[in-house]
Chains A and B, each alone.
Chain A
Amino acid sequence: MPGRETFETIAGCKTRIMRGGQGAPLLFLHGGSGASMWQPFMDKLAETFDVIVPEHPGFGGSDSPEWLDNIGDVAYFYLDFMEQLGLSGVHLVGTSLGGWIAAEIAVRDRHPLKSLTLVSPVGIRVKGVRKADIFLMSPEESVRSLFHSKALVDAALARTPSEAELDMAAKNRLTMAKLAWEPRLFNPHLYKWMHRIKTPTLIIWGESDQIVPPAYGPEFQKLIPGSKLETIPECGHVPQVEKPDVLAAKIIAFAGGVK
């Protein structure tokens, strides 16, 4: 059952939102490739939660507002977002770029949040552990680096994207560069304040992540007091696509268990 599409203007930015399911609010923040489609793992989550999937400013069907310059702008946007939608007790889930945004939100104001789940997030740098150069990879290299499963790689490579999809990918890539080109995929000041994340936090990493090495997991765990780290075997950078059921089960078990 796909989420219903709505548009909401927040901080002057017309924002595309998909929303489905019932229960406590779960705000899902997508990664660099956007969230244009309602995906199977969202259906799983919607069995337990009111799943809210916005597209970030500058991504997909959302506007690219003039004020969008850096990751802090996106974090404050989502604080406005939760306030305007009247959300409280939010289970915040972010993947990759979305995980970074989620951490930036939680550092600024943890009060709207009930739990935090970071799935292969970026946002910090571990010296000597290089992330992939996502901006210099060919489209084929990108696909090969995204998944553990060769079948998923082959299927993705066999697909010819439509013109509209290519346009959207170019838009997403532009905003990704704006937010994450330099410093590359991290905020040099974020780590200093991650102790402020007193929200119960689960960190999830695919064991074969080739974009952000799994060695980042323990570093995130050290920086967020009391956080848990779980890994998913035979899974690359996008567990929501590669292991949707496993990921959904982990989120439901964790977030559902937070009192």
Chain B
Amino acid sequence: MKFFFFHLMPYADLDLDYDKKHNSAWVTLPNTYFDPEKGHALYNRYLDEMELADQLGFDGVCVNEHHQNAYGLMPIPGVMAGALARRTKNAKIAVLGRALPLLNNPATVAEEFAMLDVMTGGRLIAGFVRGIGAEYHAWGVNPAISHERFHEAHDIIIRAWTEPGPFAYEGKHYHFEYVNCWPRPYQQPHPPVWIPSQGSRETIEWAADAKRKYTYLQTFSPVAALAHFMKLYSEAAERNGWTATPDHKGWSVPTYCAETDEIAYHEAKPHIENFINKFLKMPLEMLAPPGYQSLASVKAIRKAKESIRQNQTIDTLIEKGMFLCGSPATLREKIETAQDEIGFGNILNNLQFGTLPHDLVRKSTTLFAEEVIPHFRKKSAAAAAA
């Protein structure tokens, strides 16, 4: 199993009473809530945390892209990946991802990722996403054509990496006379592609296509949903004539590790609750603009009366397996149980979340690296020896 340290880089200094005046930390929350001096300290602190993860032996570090919000301060994740490229030595750098449909020229992602891959000597993992629904409000791009643009943008990038340029691209939404990616990627034929999703059936089918075999990541979901969607992925792969391995599956989950379960619970509680109730807060109309999901998915959501507006507690998050929280022994057991049942080979731990301060991130990450990860390393080594 491979372990990744996933940072969302929230604006942790957010005035948490913002929600007395505003209904979301996204899109419409005035940027006057952002203090650049505090932002300066946060960015540098967060990069330190990611560099620590590299030093502690994590297999990779992950960044991602979101726009116009306090939840994640990485509208251009390549800036962070670039900063990490030189300061990390061994860790893979996963950009999870760029939100392709938002772009007017997706070939720019082929260039950006190729630069990172060449700079790091092949440590890049390329993530492709559509962004969350709020991005379509923030960015103005039409959500009704989000899937079409995603597929075209993806095709442009993969072709730019694998076909000799220049070539012309003749799509419906994108048209280019010359696609000719300089530099070409270091990893051949191209960097590994990871697809994070909340469980869209269309996305799972697409990622599991025999032409692609992309690693599918289930993000911030109950463990039961994780099991369900990983099963769908395996089934789709079988239908397409190949067998998915653990490497094709990843689980992205907020994680907190402390000396005992009780200490972990009390230290994490306010910060994980801020994460879900303050930083992720948005109305359904913002989360799910028309066309972002298929009409069938919209109906399913309506029936489930699902809404992330309701306040949630650490207890429900732990109970549903949406948050890994506890002593090293507890985390070893929870991860092992889930892995045995579900068979994922990558776990992406959000070891900073919401307002969790630096000293606790450092403590939790170190403990996790020293007391949890080695257990699985030994297990893999034993399996390899056998």
Contact = CB atoms under 8 A, between A and B. Distances in A.
Interface of A: 135-138, 166-167, 170-171, 173-178, 181-182, 184
B299 A167 contact: yes
B79 interface: no
B285 A177 contact: no
B329 interface: no
Nearest to B143: A177
A137 B285 CA distance: 7
Nearest to A170: B298
B85 to A, nearest CB: 34
A175 B143 CA distance: 11
Contacts of B142: 177-178, 181-182
B291 A177 contact: yes
15 contacts: A135-B289, A136-B137, A136-B286, A166-B302, A167-B295, A167-B299, A170-B290, A170-B302, A174-B144, A174-B291, A177-B142, A177-B289, A181-B140, A181-B290, A184-B140
Given A136-B283, A138-B283, A178-B142, 18 more contacts: A135-B137, A135-B289, A136-B286, A138-B284, A138-B285, A167-B295, A170-B290, A171-B295, A174-B290, A177-B291, A178-B144, A178-B291, A181-B136, A181-B143, A181-B144, A181-B289, A182-B140, A184-B140
Nearest to B302: A166
Interface residues of B, number: 21
Contacts of A184: 140
Contact of B290 (A135, A137, A138, A182): A135
A119 B302 CA distance: 33
B141 A182 contact: yes
Interface of B: 27-28, 136-137, 140-145, 283-286, 289-291, 295, 298-299, 302
Nearest to B23: A138
A181 B145 CA distance: 10
B136 to A, nearest CB: 8
Contacts of B283: 136, 138
Contact of A178 (B140, B145, B295, B302): B145
A170 B299 contact: yes
Nearest to A166: B302
A177 B144 contact: yes
A175 B145 CA distance: 11
A72 B236 CA distance: 39
Instruction: Report the 9 A-B pairs with minimum CB-CB distance, sorted nearest first.
Output: A178-B144, A177-B290, A181-B142, A177-B144, A173-B290, A174-B290, A182-B142, A170-B298, A182-B140
Contacts of B285: 135-138
Contacts of B291: 174, 177-178
Contacts of A176: 290
A167 to B, nearest CB: 7
Contacts of B290: 135, 170, 173-174, 176-177, 181
A181 B137 CA distance: 9
Contacts of B286: 136
Nearest to A179: B144
A125 to B, nearest CB: 14
Chain B CB within 10 Å, residue with most, of A166, A170, A171, A181:
A181
Nearest to A139: B285
A19 to B, nearest CB: 28
Contacts of A136: 27-28, 137, 283, 285-286
Contacts of B144: 174-175, 177-178, 181
A136 B137 CA distance: 8
Contacts of B28: 136
B137 A170 contact: no
A170 B295 CA distance: 7
Contacts of B27: 136
Nearest to B27: A136
Contacts of A174: 144, 290-291, 295
A175 B295 CA distance: 11
A5 B284 CA distance: 35
Contacts of A138: 283-285
**Which of B27, B142, B290 is packed against the most chain A CB atoms within 10 Å?**
B290
A171 B283 CA distance: 20
B189 to A, nearest CB: 33
